[in-house]
Structure 1
Amino acid sequence: MEKMYKVKFPLDQSIETALERRQAAEAARKARIFNTRLRVMGLDLDALTKQTQEKKHRQEMERERDKAFDTLRLQHDEVLLQRDRQERKVREALHAGLTQFWNIQQRVEDSSDADLKCGLKGAVTITVPEAELGPSSMQIFQGEDVGEAQRKREQMKQTERDLLTQRVQQERRCLEDKHKEMLAEEELLQQDLSWRQQHNAEEESRKAARVALDRYNRALATERAERLKEAHRREEGENLAEKWHTLTSAMMTEGWDAAVNQLQDAKASMRDSWKGMSPEQISAIYRAREEQCIERQRCRDMEKNRDAAWNSWLQKASGEAQQEERRWSELRRAKQIQEEQFNLQLAKEQQAHQRYLDKELYTNKATPEYFCQFNTTSR
């Protein structure tokens, strides 16, 4: 029979990892739920902190970028200045080298015609005895270039004439340039003068236009004032004529004849054209006034009788209302007494029930450990 040995298999790390992850999530959830400030105010401090850090990081990056741009700009300026200095040095070195090359390699004394240009100063020095030299070594023969002095004088004169011509041409060019500058200045002065004249002419035209406009406005104002005066005079004349017509018209005479129309109908008389009345109309008015007084007195008597009846009815109704009010007051008082008795009975019952709750029902009070078992998890 084979023996059975216990083999300890390695635990699954994923289970422990999942358990730790759930415990960490539970702890984070508790921290969020049981934090009164976050739960009541709804602030996400992590998000706010992250936003603040991102903003500071962005500002820092912008400052670094600006500094980098400034540094790069300074470097570019320094490189350009260094390049300019190098180019200047290269040009100076090239010029110095060229000058040195001219001085060393292209001297006048080393040219093939140095003996002619420098007066035999640059000629090759003969170190060999003259008796050993052949005809080919000779440079100047007897009788050669007889008119050299005359030719040199002519060349010098020609050079002087060329220099004089060049100086005259240069002076002429200077004079022409000065003349051109003078003409340009005169043209500018002429343009300035013409512009000033044009400006003065425009200013004069504007002044003349303003003066004409002022005159026209004054003429319009004068004409308007005359029209107003004329209208005022015409209105005063019309008012005076109307007053005179009113004073001299038949309306002010209070005549009966002026009140009768063309059909001689007294009932259809023009009552707006006169103030007087006929005796028949006056007597009719008196009769109508007496009738109106009688009718008014009768209305007053009827109104007094009606007021007396109304006052008696009001007194009667007031007495009945007072009696009804007293009856309702007694009923309310009785109802209030009944409610007070009912409230007393109800209070006694509630007190008895509270004593029962305190002394018989709720005798086992909860301990602090009982309340500590709540809100221990986030679920």
Structure 2
Amino acid sequence: MYKVDLPVDNSADVAVERRRAAEAARQANIFNTRHRVMGLDLKALEQQVVENKEREQMESQRERAFDMLRVTQDEVLMQQQQEEEERRAELNRDLIQYRAIRQRAEDTRDADLNVLRQGALGLYIPIPESELGPASMQVFQGEGIGDNDKRRAQMEQTERALRAQREQNEKLQKKNKHKELLKGTELVLQDLRALHLDALEEECKRAGRIALNNYNHARAVERVEKERKERMRKEGEEMAEVWHMVTSDILTECPKAAEREVGGGPVGGPRVLTDRWRGMSPVQLSAIRRQRDEQRLEGERLREFEKQRDAAWDIQRMVQTREDEEEERKVMELKKEKRIEMDRYNEQLAREQREHQQYLSKTLYTNRPTAQYFNQFNSSSR
């Protein structure tokens, strides 16, 4: 199978991102501090009204376009039906004309025989009958018996076939009319269903607009109530802040205002108030210097320990490196000895092979046959 880079379908991700963006916009519109504090956003409401009007106008234009399209489709369907009927009538006329011109009884192969039987004058033959053979005979004895009955039966059969064909055509026309009636009824039902759906859609839109107006009104009332409560809360906080500033330690200049116990007791430890603090005491400064010296000594001790540890690791790595090099050297020497031994063995085999070849060529195969040896064979007739 060939690897084909198919396009990735990210429609689901796009839909999720679109819903997330819509939800974020809705939350930003609802939980916006400016809207909650300042009151109604008239620009946003006016924009909503304009958008609703544009949407209604677009929907009305779309409905008018759909109505025009339905009317056009109905006219096209009626035109097609009329053309189909005209085409069928023309085909029937052409068929009747073709039968009247191309399928006449006078043009058949036995028309002359039928004409003779009907009492018409025969053809004049200037050749004597004694010179004509059996191939020139046109009517034989006993051939015309029952022709009238056969012709009558054939005419009745033709009439029955024409009647059956006419009935079949009538049934087909009724069936087509019934189909056209059903199609027209279906189109009417579709139009009624479309009108009903349009009415339902308009009702849903109207209900949505009413719900949106109610929601906007409720939000406006809620925003006004929140603004009133927020204004009262701010006024209360400002009055409390003024009272606190008047009665606080910064104006009364309390000597113990710089330190307070957290949690109402010594458990939480003292808390320094920066706006009332006048600096650290000598005892606190000495404690800080002592703690700083201890931290410095601890840092030097840790650095010395890390230095010793790194040195030990370096020594360990050097020892391991020497051992690895020694082991590698031994392996290389062993490989070299094996290679030398293999070369000696191969050299010995080559020498033995050369000696064997010399023995075969110089010692074993030295007695070559002469011509006299070959002439002693096949020397007689037997």
- With normalisation by structure 1, the TM-score equals 0.31
**Greater relative contact order (CA < 8 Å, ≥ 6 in sequence):** 2
